[in-house]
A = this chain, B = another copy of it.
């Protein structure tokens, strides 16, 4: 079998319990009557994103002796902070290879969590992390193309199922596809009648196109990088596409304007700060809600790391 199962997600939940914030489902007053909206605010995790779940599970699943040799990853975003945090939680060394174009504030955030950073030209990030893994015996923890990472993100689905068993639709953003693969695994096992629907920016809709065509389609990086939603500019991989094909009911896309508007609504009406990727699901709810099945909707707010100026601009608009 080439898909993870609900038991993998359950084991992940045991591994990470007490090490992550057990986020509540937040009711809202801005949902429509027959589709009441709940938010799963993973921006409230310590590092501001759900990524800590997968990193903790993947590092926690390693044999002690392997883990003790250290961890390496490459990331310009939330996954780097997640690995740094998770490694520290287990008391092992982490090295995060970062593109030299990464914002200094993100490099500093990784260092503040006790990880070593290695700054390289963007195109060398993967080869550098592989070389470091080989040289030092580090274990490479990729951001989504990894069963233990997917199972860790899937714990979000367990929590939604426990807190809102009457949920009709679960909205999940898609970047590399790790979190929707895990969440769909949990939801379909526990609440088979519920729909799991992915959300992408129109400008980085490789998963939507792949889903529709029934085969994995890659979008050129220069296309994907047009969206404001920097957390989902990566493409899905074969592993996550298999999970999406088997367990996801649909993939919707939203405009850049809808993403910005949703960030403002989340801040004003639900008092949480979402990064553009984190606002994708709210954008889908607000602009395409009539296409969803009737019944309660749970929308994953995946993260809240963004430049303060951007947040200020969506509030003023």
User: A residues bordering B, Cβ < 8 Å?
Assistant: 21-24, 26-29, 41, 43-44, 46-48, 112-113, 264, 267-268, 270-274, 304-305, 308-309, 311-313, 315-316
Shortest Cβ distance from A26 into B: residue: B44
CB distance from A121 to the nearest CB of B (A): 29
Cross-chain contact A24 with B27 (CB below 8 angstroms): no
B residues near A112, Cβ cutoff 8 Å: 29
Cross-chain contact B44 with A29 (CB below 8 angstroms): no
B residues near A44, Cβ cutoff 8 Å: 24, 26, 41, 270-272
Q: Please measure, in the bound complex, the distance between the C-alpha atom of A270 and the C-alpha atom of B271, giving whole angstroms.
A: 12
CB distance from A38 to the nearest CB of B (A): 10
CB distance from A25 to the nearest CB of B (A): 8
CB distance from A41 to the nearest CB of B (A): 7
A24-B22, A24-B23 known; A267+B29 contact, CB < 8 A? no
CB distance from A22 to the nearest CB of B (A): 6
Cross-chain contact B308 with A271 (CB below 8 angstroms): no
A44-B24, A44-B41 known; A308+B316 contact, CB < 8 A? yes
CB distance from A89 to the nearest CB of B (A): 11
Cross-chain contact B304 with A312 (CB below 8 angstroms): no
Other than the given A22-B24, A29-B47, A308-B315, 8 more pairs (CB < 8 A) read A41-B44, A268-B273, A271-B304, A272-B273, A273-B273, A309-B316, A312-B315, A312-B316
Closest 4 CB pairs of A and B: A271-B304, A271-B273, A312-B315, A312-B312
Q: Please measure, in the bound complex, the distance between the C-alpha atom of A271 and the C-alpha atom of B43, giving whole angstroms.
A: 7
Q: Please measure, in the bound complex, the distance between the C-alpha atom of A305 and the C-alpha atom of B47, giving whole angstroms.
A: 25
Among A28, A29, A46, A48, find the residue whose CB has the most chain B CB atoms closer than 10 A.
A29
A44-B41, A44-B272 known; A267+B311 contact, CB < 8 A? yes
B residues near A308, Cβ cutoff 8 Å: 264, 267-268, 315-316
Shortest Cβ distance from A163 into B: residue: B22
Our pick among B47, B271, B272, B315 for the contact of A309 (Cβ within 8 Å) is B315
Q: Please measure, in the bound complex, the distance between the C-alpha atom of A308 and the C-alpha atom of B267, giving whole angstroms.
A: 8
Q: Please measure, in the bound complex, the distance between the C-alpha atom of A75 and the C-alpha atom of B21, giving whole angstroms.
A: 34
Q: Please measure, in the bound complex, the distance between the C-alpha atom of A74 and the C-alpha atom of B316, giving whole angstroms.
A: 31
Shortest Cβ distance from A271 into B: residue: B304
Among A113, A271, A272, find the residue whose CB has the most chain B CB atoms closer than 10 A.
A271
